[in-house]
Chains A and B, each alone.
Chain A
Amino acid sequence: MTLRLRTTTFVAAAALCAGLAPALAEPADAELVINDEVTIKTVAPAAEHLKGHLDTVYSGWLFREDETRAMEMDDFDNPNMVFAEQAMEVWSTPEGTENKSCADCHGAIEEGMMGVRAKMPKINAAGDLWSLENYVNDCRTNRMGAEAWKWNSQDMKNMTVAISVQSRGMPVAVEIDGPAQSHWEKGKEMYYTRYGQLELSCANCHEDNYGNFIRADHLSQGQVAGFPVYRLKDANIVSIHQRFVGCIRDTRAETFAAGSQEFIDLELYVASRGYGLDIEGAGVRP
């Protein structure tokens, strides 16, 4: 803990000493290889739709300290994995009036959920845009006859981590045209809206100032390919929408609710800003 703080002080102090005007503190020059096995793309040329906004996209992993980055490189050190294991048990436990488990319909999670996270959020059969959490609850309520999990409940977070691990190393693959396009447009509008009494948009911090420090925080591009992430400060998993709530709250704004259509739309747009990056399944943050 002390060590981490010291390093941050050092970096901030170094920036001060050099007397730098907002020079871009570069993201780390490091490669993310998990368990010496899976190489994750954490840097990529920006998608066509980001032309004029970003040239290169970077995972938030690159903006963290050495020790935090190391935790994501080995599943024995990645605190997410304890929770993923709990979810694996739930995966094969029958529940609800139908007395069925996830495994009864989807088989082994490694096969049934492979690549699923990379496509989320995604248009469902009825034509609505849904996040991974919506799909999980749809199975629980309509196929198992079990109760829906709250968006940010431990059960839901554990399960979304376990499912995300099955897309590890696969490129972000959200669809943004066809029926998803209007949602994407709304998400984009939100991204550039200056919310709250501080009148700050996502872009003010994550597009115009990534690499810079806002007080002690080294700003990343606010990418979601690493999500859900384990946050050491909270000693728990943080969902994508939970992070959105935190960022909007920090602009002295009235936030939207986790699971709201607004945040599902925003999630689609933010995910599409990560085209070229790989799903990390699952990140670690300070």
Chain B
Amino acid sequence: MNRHVLWMACAATTFAAGIACAETAPTEVQFDETGAVAQSLTGAPGNAEEGAKVASTRPLGNCVACHQVAALTADFQGNIAPALDGAADRWSEAQLRGIVVDAKHTFPESMMPGMYKTGPFIRPGDAYTGKAAPADLPPILTAAQVEDVVAFLMTLKD
């Protein structure tokens, strides 16, 4: 709801003033030296419920491919990566945002894919088609979906 209103306001501003608006583009994200991203990508709070869906769904975050999350009912949760239970006790919101946007700023060489990243990649593809990516390859998650996932992660307290 909030987000929607904000977006409308934004669109209006952009239209009127011709300036770029609150949403941060993937190439514009500011990481601090620890890999954290302080600023919300949308300027609005995320929706934890939506975030839980994104985290469980394959073409989206599919976090459960690698992580176990007791709070999610998704079946076949993987065990490649640490369980996310209690993530909010271990990390701040800014740190979690940084990890979701592009974990390689937090964990160099991490196996975790950057969810809000558009390159550079080696032979990027067009989703799971095996074909070459379009020139304007979108990130795996939208800015709003990243904020939703971060909001969901913030609910994971022991």
A residues apposed to B, CB below 8 Å: 8-9, 12, 15-16, 19-23, 25, 193-200, 204, 208-209, 212-216, 245, 248-255
Which residues in B have their C-beta under 8 angstroms from that of A250?
128
Instruction: Among A8, A196, A214, A254, point to the contact of B80 (Cβ < 8 A).
Output: A214
Which residues in B have their C-beta under 8 angstroms from that of A195?
121-123
- Assembly CA distance A160 to B133 (angstroms): 33
- Assembly CA distance A204 to B75 (angstroms): 23
- Cβ of B4 within 8 Å of any chain A Cβ, yes or no, is no
Asked if A212 and B79 make an inter-chain contact with CB atoms under 8 angstroms apart, the answer reads yes
Name the residue of chain B whose CB is nearest to the CB of A16: B68
Asked if B121 and A215 make an inter-chain contact with CB atoms under 8 angstroms apart, the answer reads no
Which residues in B have their C-beta under 8 angstroms from that of A245?
130
Asked if B113 and A214 make an inter-chain contact with CB atoms under 8 angstroms apart, the answer reads no
Complex A-B: 18 CB contacts under 8 Å:
A9-B76, A12-B77, A22-B79, A22-B82, A23-B79, A194-B122, A195-B122, A197-B124, A197-B140, A199-B121, A204-B111, A212-B78, A213-B78, A214-B66, A216-B76, A245-B130, A249-B125, A253-B123
Instruction: Among A8, A9, A254, point to the contact of B124 (Cβ < 8 A).
Output: A254
Asked if A213 and B80 make an inter-chain contact with CB atoms under 8 angstroms apart, the answer reads yes
- What per-residue 1/0 map shows which CB atoms of B117-146 lie under 8 Å from chain A? 100011111111111110001001000000
- Known A197-B140, A200-B111, A254-B131; judge A213-B124 contact (CB<8 A): no
- Assembly CA distance A214 to B63 (angstroms): 10
Instruction: Among B65, B82, B130, point to the contact of A248 (Cβ < 8 A).
Output: B130
- Assembly CA distance A20 to B81 (angstroms): 11
Which residues in B have their C-beta under 8 angstroms from that of A216?
75-76
Instruction: Among A9, A15, A198, point to the contact of B75 (Cβ < 8 A).
Output: A9
B residues apposed to A, CB below 8 Å: 58, 62, 64-66, 68, 75-83, 111, 113-114, 117, 121-133, 137, 140
Which residues in A have their C-beta under 8 angstroms from that of B129?
249
Instruction: Among B79, B83, B127, B133, point to the contact of A213 (Cβ < 8 A).
Output: B79
Name the residue of chain B whose CB is nearest to the CB of A8: B76
- Assembly CA distance A195 to B125 (angstroms): 9
- Assembly CA distance A252 to B60 (angstroms): 12
Asked if A253 and B125 make an inter-chain contact with CB atoms under 8 angstroms apart, the answer reads yes
Instruction: Among B77, B133, B137, point to the contact of A215 (Cβ < 8 A).
Output: B77
Instruction: Among B64, B65, B83, B121, point to the contact of A196 (Cβ < 8 A).
Output: B121
Which residues in A have their C-beta under 8 angstroms from that of B65?
214-215
- Assembly CA distance A70 to B41 (angstroms): 52
Least CB distance, A234 to chain B, in whole angstroms: 16
- Known A254-B131, A254-B132, A254-B133; judge A197-B79 contact (CB<8 A): no
Other A-B pairs, 13, CB within 8 Å; known A196-B125, A248-B123 = A12-B75, A12-B76, A16-B68, A20-B79, A21-B79, A197-B125, A198-B113, A199-B122, A215-B62, A215-B77, A248-B130, A252-B127, A252-B140
Instruction: Among B114, B127, B133, point to the contact of A199 (Cβ < 8 A).
Output: B114
Least CB distance, B138 to chain A, in whole angstroms: 10
Least CB distance, A257 to chain B, in whole angstroms: 10
Name the residue of chain A whose CB is nearest to the CB of B120: A199
Least CB distance, A123 to chain B, in whole angstroms: 27
Name the residue of chain B whose CB is nearest to the CB of A208: B111
